[in-house]
Amino acid sequence: MNGGRIEIFEGDITKLAVDAIVNAANRTLLGGGGVDGAIHRAAGKELLEECRALGGCRDGEAKLTRGWRLPAKYVIHTVGPVWRGGNAGEAETLAACYRNCLAIAAKRGFESVAFPAISTGVYRYPREEATAIAVREVRDFLAANAVPARVVFVCFDARTRAAYEAALA
Ligand code: AR6
């Protein structure tokens, strides 16, 4: 399955020594709660300074920064959709997040990329639907691209892990 290129990790994404971790950010790119807050705390104030120069980010798009004090070399910041019931283009926007992050990783030659479950926290995207989109987009991208060699789905809790296991099965 996936040639062993997809892994699940249950824990804190800020601990991972990969080429890039993905941040589930907001349009300002100036930090927030959830995984965004954890990444900014662990990376240090230099990350915020670098983000200030980026001028924000549109929903579904992605922007790259250094990882600063993180064990990851880079952070790919993306803005997932706020769940509004499912008829506001949420699925396409979420798919675009995964595709655009992977495109940056491929362009930069990153071997390993770790994703949190984008939009499934504060933005309230239903977990099972979001993980199915994440798995589909990553599989499709890996089938068409040699890089990144490895993608990690980071699950902050057991329910998210179960959702990824079901989506990958
Ligand atoms: N490592 C891995 N996953 C985490 C971590 C962590 N350290 N912390 C939380 N998660 P959320 P969103 C999981 O709310 O829904 C922020 O304020 C969490 O359990 O972080 O895209 C931003 O600034 C959930 O499964 O992101 C935006 O305003 C997943 O990460 C807004 O939240 C995403 O939850 C974005 O909301």
Nearest CA to ligand 1 atom 7: 12
Residues 1-23: pLDDT tens digits? 567 999 999 999 999 999 999 99
Could you confirm whether 36 is annotated as catalytic?
yes
CB of residue 76 inside a 6 A radius of ligand 1:
no
pLDDT at residue number 51: 98
Integer Cα distance of 70 and 42 in angstroms = 6
Q: Residue 71: is the preceding peptide bond cis (ω within 30°)? A: no
pLDDT at 9: 98
Share of the chain above pLDDT 70, in %: 99
Q: Which residues in the chain show pLDDT less than 70?
A: 1-2
Q: Which of 83, 119, 122 has the most ligand 1 atoms within 8 A of CB, as the residue to mutate? A: 122
In angstroms, rounded to a whole number, what is the distance separating the alpha carbons of residues 52 and 122? 22
pLDDT of 3: 72
